[in-house]
Structure 1
């Protein structure tokens, strides 16, 4: 990993990109949530412990998905768990762009040892799901969606650019790789709430209530 310097202009571009894409994401998600909540009427908050436990089992453990279709469910779980693990990586990634990394050198090395195998599992999982979606084409998945292919491509690029970024490569190539990774993440913020992949955000809420 290089000692990174980002120019003031780069920080401005990064800040604007994050602000615009995050605002777009929040606006679209809140707009749809308000529609959903209007249809639900009074939201039930009884048995909170049981609801949280169910949400943990079905969302984080992927219990129902894996039990219903083991191999596709497991591949989906690989992708989900990878993105949970990548949460801190993403925060640290953008913090570096502003010159304030969240992880010190030792913490970064330790966390990289955890994240690297998960990034490989994510690649395996998303390629397996893409093969099922676009090659075997089970009827249960319905019509083909170009957005699904784009999302799969973005996920693979994210994992590959992460792995490249952890190698010792020339600084200018590292910087190009860093910006590709950043643009893909910001593109996700715009794309997800405008596609069927919004279920990534809404599913936990739906399961809880």
Structure 2
């Protein structure tokens, strides 16, 4: 009798553990799917990247980027846009720079519009800061204008509180390649 009771209890314990593991697997898979959708949307909404040549895959919060981009700046931009999305633990950037996609007459330090490396970096910074502001629920990103020149980000526009102004400044400051931030945001009264 004791053996039968013990066997039944062990069976229930194993079944409960299996159900918990299955529930956690489902929860992790749905979270990864949510992150993947957010990553794909972020790349799609970015006007500086061809999102149709970039694939994303997410496993346990790690986003793997594969595909082709035109230059190293696009590769870095894609990674930076994704790495600060909610739920992303890290980014494995396997994007390949496709030299054949570039115009053969362009020097390697210029992009397809004739911009030099600094202008490309400034454009990347502006894009990343603006995207982060738009995705931050505590900031009215649509009312903030972002400009970048030589690594200095200038924020212009109106916000609802000093806390929102400070958060926008912090978002800009923590963006890669930013040297300085000029915060011209005005608080609505």
Q: Is TM > 0.5 for Structure 1 vs Structure 2?
A: no
Find the structure with the greater CA-based Rg.
Answer: 2
Compare the two structures and name the one with the higher strand fraction.
Answer: 2
User: What range is the shorter-chain TM-score in?
Assistant: under 0.3
Higher relative contact order (Cα pairs below 8 Å, separated by 6+ residues): 1
